[in-house]
Amino acid sequence: MKVSLAWEKSEAGGLLEEWLASHQGDLSCVLEELYRENFPESSGWDELEISLQFLDEEAMAALNGQYRGENRPTDVLSFPLWENDGHLELPPAGGVLPLGDLVFCRPVLDANAAAAGTSVQSELALLLAHGALHLIAWDHDTEERRAAMWAVQERYRQRILERAGACVKEG
């Protein structure tokens, strides 16, 4: 099973899209590992597809308002194709499985990175891992589930950064 990432170039993504493109193989390898360890059913497909998009604050606020009822921008929104009421309802295995869309807001991502004292690549790595988990019906709606999700997404952020050779600024 392999993971493919796809996105259309946008003004909102800027240099982060270049970083994604230059490290796409590394990102895919780490996401493959994430899914092998946390989504055993993934072995039934040859390929998992994830679509990525970058939006400005205005567009993200509108999307967040439409889907979550919060009229403000957020760092990432996940749109899983197979999640229903917290559970995965998967099609028959085989071939390509499109998992869904991850939508990022670059200004919020930048602000989060600055507040955390990390690079924007580190913040994007965290949000990729976070969103990848949401695409397989992980959630952080209880303290127990939040702790589990945060631990896994942090582990995979570090793996992405190790593979991609991204620097993390000291805070």
90 burial type by CB count under 10 A (0-12 exposed, 13-18 middle, 19+ buried)? middle
Residue 171, pLDDT > 70, answer no
* CATH architecture for residues 2-164: 3-Layer(aba) Sandwich (3.40)
Q: Contact at 8 Å (CB) between 91 and 82?
A: yes
For residue range 72-83, what is the model confidence (pLDDT) as tens digits? 999 999 999 999
User: What residue segments make up the domains of the chain, in order of their start?
Assistant: 2-164
For residue range 12-32, what is the model confidence (pLDDT) as tens digits? 998 899 999 999 999 999 999
More confident residue, 16 or 63: 63
Is 130 labeled as ligand-binding? yes
The continuous run of DSSP H or E covering 148 comes out as helix 143-164
Rg of the Cα trace of the chain? 15
Long-range contacts of 63-69 (CB under 8 A, 24+ apart): 63/103
Residue 135 φ/ψ, nearest 5 degrees:
-65, -20
Distance (Å, rounded) from C-alpha 150 to C-alpha 91?
28
pLDDT at 170: 33
- Secondary structure percentages of the chain, helix, strand, coil, to 5: 50, 20, 30
Is 140 labeled as ligand-binding? yes
pTM for this one? 0.93
